[in-house]
Amino acid sequence: MDSIHIRGGNALFGETKIQGSKNAVLPILAAALLIEDVCVLENCPRISDVHHMLMLLERIGCRVARSDRTITVDARNVSEDTVSGENVTGMRSSIMLLGAMLGRVGEITMAYPGGCVIGERPIDLHLSALGRMGVKIYEDEGCFTAKAQKLEGSVISLPISSVGVTENVILAAVRAKGVTVLQNAAKEPEIGALCEFLREAGAVIEGIGGSVLIIQGGHELHGVRFRIPADRIVAGTYLMGVLGAGGHIFLEDAPVAQMQSTLRAAELAGAEINVSRDGLSVMIDVEKRAVPMIKTEVYPGFPTDMQSLLMAALTTAPGVSVIEETVFENRFRIVEQLRKMGACIELQGKRQAVIVGVDLLLGCEVTADELRGGAALVIAGCMAEGETIVKNRHFIERGYEDICRDFQNLGVNIYTG
């Protein structure tokens, strides 16, 4: 069965180590394509999105080896310029191969990456930004070919601080002729990790961490050994688990500096947070409380990926909480499943959810249809009286190495079905 079973209703106690970041390792794997050498990546999460990305890299001609959480990518013989098949339409991160393949071989043909239930996930801004660098797009029945005789550095100003577009421009710009200035760049920590990786490989990038990046193209790139940073959203998931169910946990390796807005939200809801050198101690020993308004925003604002996780935790917070989703147009799908468990949530249009705290959630069978919503249902299962069965575990496995193992470490009665 493709499910997770949770017998909830007890507080969380214990500690668990936070895995490497999905949204950092995926663009860095794409960046390894740019380097005609061997790269070694440590602390890579064992998740299905990484498995798919490795399959894509091998299709393109990379030699890939994996030993536990260390991945070696040898991109010296990259040849094919076509990435196709279900691997591409099945996930978003394949779009990141666009910039890397243009930087490496000057051309790529791929299917339009599938959208997902949280939003249409268009790629118009990717194509227009790369167009500024001399990339031409040829469309053909669900596929497109992007080609650049010679990538040219350019001044590019993004209408929205898109994470993926920022990553694709960086990946193309490091091998372009001349300097690229990217304005209104996304500032998510995963962008910083990508830039640090490329800098260690010999790229010249200024403004890392800010909204204006200056990339000097054409510098020789060499192989590097690089450690993938811990996953701030996975750490935030377990933080919301203890906010929801109560207790006292320790999250080893939690990237606290990247979680400030998430920690603030948890403290507003009653969490007592203590930061130590190697992680994060969180406890809920006072009455959890509603949060009058939380709005998702680009970094360093409250992350959209944390939205459904916080919502689950607030379903039993006394009072009225309001969450506003400003990044994706369809990211409240989980509301219907939480209502099945007894949550009282009203939607105001597609962008605002009003959560009225109830005394108790009751376990039942619920269905995940995307990654973070699925994790939110697991949190709700930890909180609920009785047994919860979360169906479609495979969505959760896209981003979590082993959510059952981690919650078992925190004392939850949980197992895969």
Active site positions, annotated: 116
Whether 38 and 9 have beta carbons less than 8 Å apart is answered as no
Could you say whether residue 279 binds ligand EPZ (CB under 6 A)?
Answer: no
* Residue 282 near residue 47, CB atoms below 8 Å: no
The window from 120-128, 238-246, 332-340, 357-365 that contacts ligand EPZ (CB under 6 A) reads 120-128
Least CB distance to ligand EPZ at residue 168 (A): 9
Q: Counting contacts by CB under 6 A, is residue 165 touching ligand EPZ?
A: yes
Cβ 226 to ligand EPZ shortest distance, Å? 17
Does position 371 interact with ligand EPZ (CB under 6 A)? The reply is yes
Distance CA 59, CA 346 (A): 46
Using the structure block, give the residue that is written with the tokens 């010999």.
202
Contacts of 67 (CB under 8 A, 6+ apart): none
> What separation in angstroms does the CA of 171 have from each of 229, 253, 345?
19, 28, 42
- Phi/psi of residue 41, nearest 5 degrees: -110, 125
Instruction: List the one residue from 69, 187, 372, 391 that touches ligand EPZ (CB under 6 A).
Output: 372
On the CB side of 97, how many CA atoms lie within 13 Å of its CA?
32
Applying CB under 6 A, does 119 fall inside the site for ligand EPZ?
A: yes
Q: How far is the CB of 234 from ligand EPZ (least distance, A)?
A: 10
CA distances for 141 relative to 112, 145, 161, angstroms: 9, 11, 29
Q: Taking CB under 6 A as the rule, which mask of x and - marks residues 323-362 in contact with ligand EPZ?
A: ----xx----------------------------------
**Site for ligand EPZ contains 140 (CB under 6 A):** no
DSSP 35-69: -SSEEEEES----HHHHHHHHHHHHHT-EEEEETT
Number of H helices, E strands in the chain: 14, 24
- Closer CB to ligand EPZ, 99 or 164, in the complex: 164
- Structure token pair of residue 296: 């998702």
Return the residue matching tokens 């960046």: 31
User: Which lies closer to ligand EPZ via its Cβ, residue 108 or residue 123?
Assistant: 123
Task: Kindly tell me which residue out of 43, 93, 94, 261 binds ligand EPZ, with binding defined by CB under 6 A.
Answer: 93
> Which residue, 250 or 302, is less far from ligand EPZ as judged by CB?
302
3-class state of residue 323 by DSSP: strand
201 DSSP assignment: T
Interacting residues with ligand EPZ between 172 and 191 (CB under 6 A): 186, 188, 190
Cβ of 212: how many Cβ atoms within 10 Å?
12
Interacting span for ligand EPZ (CB under 6 A) from 7-15, 123-131, 249-257, 407-415: 123-131
Is 26 a binder of ligand EPZ (CB under 6 A)? yes
Reported as type and span, the H/E element at residue 376 is helix 371-383
Closest distance to ligand EPZ from the beta carbon of 152 (Å): 20
Q: Which range, of 160-168, 281-289, 386-394, 402-410, touches ligand EPZ by CB under 6 A? A: 160-168
The 8-class DSSP code of residue 24 comes to H
Interface pick for ligand EPZ out of 52, 399, 404, 409 (rule CB under 6 A): 399
Q: Which amino acid is at 41?
A: L
352: phi then psi, degrees, rounded to nearest 5: -135, 135
Closest contact distance (angstroms) between CB of 166 and ligand EPZ is 8
160 counts as binding ligand EPZ under rule CB under 6 A: yes
* Least distance to ligand EPZ, CB of residue 295, Å: 14
Which residues in this chain contact ligand EPZ in the complex, by CB under 6 A? 22-23, 26, 92-93, 119, 121-126, 160, 162-165, 186, 188, 190, 304-305, 327-328, 371-372, 399
